[in-house]
């Protein structure tokens, strides 16, 4: 969970996000090394008194400052390419959830069962504390969260009824009318996760919250049976 003055990323809830955080730390360390090196060279240039009237070229140093950036880019590119292939890796989902974006709310369909389960998810109205004039509820709260069970491959098929929407919770996926886009994700642990529509296509359109609740298998089966 994000806290005040927290400069780090939040704890990951999936293996792919964990790898992305590792890549972020790896790249940040390389950038820190480059920044320190360039700052040191600039400071030494300001304060030294070395001069050379007849220095016209330096092939050795030119080769060095050409090869070193190339090697640095290789150290960044190889983990990045590995992550790209991991993100595109296909897997067999255990369950498929269809997400339909409407103008101001979301619809979810669980069609892998004998009796399909469908429901709509609306934002809970923002309530205010009159005495302190602070909100007592979050604009990311919805009346019906999406239920998925952890430690399993889940497929999310995204579509929309009127105009373009964009689901953004565990992964970002843009939805278009008369088309279906599928993405897959895996959650390590149970928890409550929040997202929103990230398309700027109308006033107040960011207030389309997505609440995803990851539960264990027993809780998920009881929820489906009692739905």
Task: State whether residue 14 is helix, strand or coil.
Answer: coil
Q: What is the pTM of this model?
A: 0.74
- What confidence tens digit (pLDDT) does each residue in 17-73 have? 889 999 999 999 999 999 999 999 899 988 888 777 777 788 888 899 899 999 999
> Do 73 and 64 form a contact (C-beta atoms < 8 A)?
no
N residues, the chain: 227
Each as own residue / partner, the long-range contacts of residues 82-88 (CB below 8 Å, 24 or more positions apart, any chain) are 83/19, 83/20, 83/23, 86/16, 86/19, 87/16
Its CATH class, for the domain covering 95-226, is: mainly beta
| Strands (DSSP E) found in the chain | 95-101, 106-110, 117-121, 128-129, 134-135, 146-149, 153-160, 165-168, 172-175, 181-186, 191-197, 209-215
Q: What is the pLDDT of residues 151-180, one digit of tens each?
A: 888 888 777 776 655 555 555 666 667 777
Whether the Cβ atoms of residue 157 and residue 175 lie closer than 8 Å to each other: no
- For 2-11, 61-70, 125-134, 140-149, which range has the lowest pLDDT when averaged over its residues? 125-134
Q: What is the pLDDT of residue 70?
A: 94
Given a cut of 80, whether residue 128 has pLDDT beyond it is: no
- Bridge partners for 128 per DSSP: 135
Domain boundaries, the chain: 15-87, 95-226
Lowest mean pLDDT among 86-90, 136-140, 182-186, 191-195: 136-140
pLDDT score recorded for residue 114: 79
Average pLDDT over residues 1-21: 80
- Tokens 């009318």 sit at which residue? 177
């Amino acid at each position: 969970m994000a806290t005040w003055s927290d400069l780090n990323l939040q704890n990951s809830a999936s293996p792919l996000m964990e790898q992305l955080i590792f890549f972020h730390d790896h790249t940040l360390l390389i950038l820190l090394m480059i920044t320190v090196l360039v700052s040191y060279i600039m400071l030494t240039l300001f304060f030294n008194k070395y001069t050379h009237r007849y220095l016209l070229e330096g092939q050795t140093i030119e080769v060095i400052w050409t090869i070193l950036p190339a090697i640095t880019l290789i150290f960044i590119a190889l983990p990045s390419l590995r992550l790209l292939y991991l993100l595109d890796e296909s897997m067999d989902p255990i369950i498929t959830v269809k997400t339909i974006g409407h103008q101001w709310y979301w619809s979810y369909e669980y069609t892998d069962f004998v009796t399909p389960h469908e429901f709509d998810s609306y934002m809970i109205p923002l309530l205010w504390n009159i005495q302190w004039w602070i909100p007592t509820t979050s604009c990311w709260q919805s009346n019906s969260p999406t239920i998925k069970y952890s430690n399993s491959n889940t497929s999310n098929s995204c579509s929309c009824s009127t105009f373009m929407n964009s689901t953004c919770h565990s992964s970002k996926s843009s939805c278009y009318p008369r088309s279906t886009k599928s993405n897959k994700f895996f959650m390590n642990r149970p928890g409550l996760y929040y997202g929103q529509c990230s398309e700027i296509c109308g006033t107040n359109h960011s207030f389309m919250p997505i609440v995803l609740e990851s539960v264990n298998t027993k809780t998920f089966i009881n929820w489906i049976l009692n739905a």
